Amino acid sequence: LKVTVTEIPIPLSYGPAFEGERVRKDDLFAECGGRKSTCCELLRMREMEEVEDGRIEVVGPDIDELEPVGVLPLAIVVDVAGRKMQKDFEPILERQFHHLINSAEGIMHMGQRDISWIRISRQAREKGFKLSHIGDILHAKLLSDFPSIADKVQVTLYTEEDKVNEILQEARTLYNERDERLAGLKDESVDTFYSCSLCQSFAPNHVCVITPERLGLCGAYNWLDGQASYEIDPSGPNKPVAKGEVIDQHKGEWQGVNEFISQASKGNLERLKAYSILEDPMTSCGCFECIVALLPAANGVMVVDRDFSGMTPSGMTFSTLAGMVGGGIQTPGFLGVGKFYLGSDKFISAEGGFKRLVWMPSHLKERLRNMLQAQAEKVGEPDMLDKIADETVATTEMEVLEYLEKVGHPALGMDPMM
């Protein structure tokens, strides 16, 4: 007999109402991650005898030893054992940390994997909140939300620099393994995609269609995750979508997908062309890691991520663009995407693909360098990365065009986009 924990033993109010709440600078007691320190999270499958259910351990200082504003490195390691647990379920359970930790009043959680960021408010600290309570939340909720796969959960929170870095290395190896499982898989080699409607509480008509070569726009769900999530809960947010008859392989349009989105969007959408930014493009909720936007004069597209607050050559900042692109409506010329889609062979392949990329912030180019370089070589443009303009050489569409002409960017030799 399994005991179900329903009460969460923490000194704070807890529930979905607190999910979207921010912790601002003035209210801040302590933080982990967010460029201030390393912060990563890792969920690992373990054998039954390796996990002591309910064991929560903080290795290193907890926040009660800090003065405001305190900064700690943090690695959250959750070990899960269960008779029906599978390695493929690790990313699904790990992706839950975000909303589970966010649901505590006065605690903010952003990001995932090795870019997570946790803020703890002064009010939460006054009520007695400590890092160990993150362990209590994850233990209680993973057991109660996933009773069919999690039988035992133990949580260790490391806050010493050396140990955090050691976990970070282990975590990165595992993240890579997860991403690589997908590497050889092509859209053509499967007959089923997966939908994700997790975001319909914010954007009621939005549905992500996740294919092997195009992950969800939040960057946290890929095709294998959709499959695993459906296996865990067939009535949950991820459903198989049969491709059905091919309408247009080049633009990525299938009869079955059209029927699915028309029903899932309650009649608001009729057609989807998965590989196009100009014709019936994918919609967005608001979670996109990056926004891709057409730059007609430069005969290409730009991409911008959340961390870039300056003006882009589209004449809009990220937040202005985000207001246009979100909300579940098709906006030809604009796409919300997960950053790994930029390295996919299906990245706006209907319009010529990777060679259309003409501008991106320099930090994003650096962060994705290995993936982008591999793609540049694949399309026969090994020195293309240097030809993509960034904010240091161009902030208007005309400056982008001038730069492209100077360096001989391949987009200028392609068919006109408009």
Residues that bind Zn ion in the complex, under the rule CB under 5 A? 199, 285, 287
Question: Under a CB-based contact definition with an 8 Å cutoff, are residues 271 and 220 in contact?
Answer: no
How far apart (Å, rounded) are the C-alpha atoms in residues 142 and 119? 21
Partner touching 359 among Zn ion, ligand SF4, none, CB below 5 to 8 Å by kind: none
Q: What is the DSSP string of 10-57?
A: SSS-BSGGGTT----GGGEEEEEETTSS-EEEEEEE--GGG--TT-EE
Q: How near is the Cβ of 297 to ligand SF4 at its closest, in Å?
A: 31
Partner touching 348 among Zn ion, ligand SF4, none, CB below 5 to 8 Å by kind: none
Residue nearer to ligand SF4 on the CB measure, 10 or 291: 291
Residue nearer to Zn ion on the CB measure, 197 or 258: 197
The amino acid at 372:
L
Sheet strands side by side (includes 39-45): 39-45, 74-81, 152-158, 56-59
Q: Which residue of 76, 131, 218, 384 would you call a contact of ligand SF4, by CB under 6 A?
A: 218
Question: Under a CB-based contact definition with an 8 Å cutoff, are residues 300 and 356 in contact?
Answer: yes
Q: How near is the Cβ of 199 to Zn ion at its closest, in Å?
A: 3
Per CB under 6 A, does 208 bind ligand SF4? Answer: yes
Per CB under 6 A, does 269 bind ligand SF4? Answer: no
Q: How near is the Cβ of 58 to ligand SF4 at its closest, in Å?
A: 30
Q: How near is the Cβ of 203 to ligand SF4 at its closest, in Å?
A: 8
The 177-196 site mask, x for binding ligand SF4 (CB under 6 A), equals -------------------x
Kindly provide the b/e burial profile for residues 309-347, where b requires at least 16 CB atoms within 10 angstroms of the residue's own CB.
Answer: eeebbbebebeebbebbbbbebbebbbbbbbbbbbbebb
- Length of the chain in residues, anyone? 418
Question: Under a CB-based contact definition with an 8 Å cutoff, are residues 197 and 237 in contact?
Answer: yes
Q: How near is the Cβ of 229 to ligand SF4 at its closest, in Å?
A: 9
Q: What is the DSSP string of 139-193?
A: HHHHHHH-TTT-SEEEEEEE-SHHHHHHHHHHHHHHHHHHHHHTTT--GGG-SEE
Residue whose CB is nearest to ligand SF4 in the complex, by number: 216
Residue nearer to ligand SF4 on the CB measure, 216 or 353: 216
Number of H helices, E strands in the chain: 12, 17
How far apart (Å, rounded) are the C-alpha atoms in residues 39 and 170? 13
Residue nearer to ligand SF4 on the CB measure, 154 or 265: 265
Q: How near is the Cβ of 70 to Zn ion at its closest, in Å?
A: 31
Gyration radius from the chain CA atoms: 22
Q: How near is the Cβ of 108 to Zn ion at its closest, in Å?
A: 17
Q: Which residue of 198, 282, 295, 298 would you call a contact of ligand SF4, by CB under 6 A?
A: 198
Partner touching 224 among ligand SF4, Zn ion, none, CB below 5 to 8 Å by kind: none
E runs forming strands in 339-387: 357-359
How far apart (Å, rounded) are the C-alpha atoms in residues 193 and 186? 11
# residues near ligand SF4 by CB under 6 A? 11
Question: Under a CB-based contact definition with an 8 Å cutoff, are residues 58 and 132 in contact?
Answer: yes
User: Which of these segments, 21-29, 212-220, 253-261, 393-401, binds ligand SF4 (CB under 6 A)?
Assistant: 212-220
Q: How near is the Cβ of 69 to ligand SF4 at its closest, in Å?
A: 31
Q: Which residue of 168, 287, 294, 325 would you call a contact of ligand SF4, by CB under 6 A?
A: 287
Q: Which residue of 33, 70, 111, 216 would you call a contact of ligand SF4, by CB under 6 A?
A: 216
Residue nearer to ligand SF4 on the CB measure, 138 or 217: 217
Partner touching 221 among ligand SF4, Zn ion, none, CB below 5 to 8 Å by kind: ligand SF4
Residue 215 token pair: 């992950």
Q: Are strands 28-33 and 70-71 parallel, antiparallel or unpaired?
A: parallel
Q: Which residue of 217, 277, 394, 401 would you call a contact of ligand SF4, by CB under 6 A?
A: 217
| Residues lying near ligand SF4 in the complex (CB under 6 A) | 196, 198-199, 208, 216-218, 220-221, 285, 287
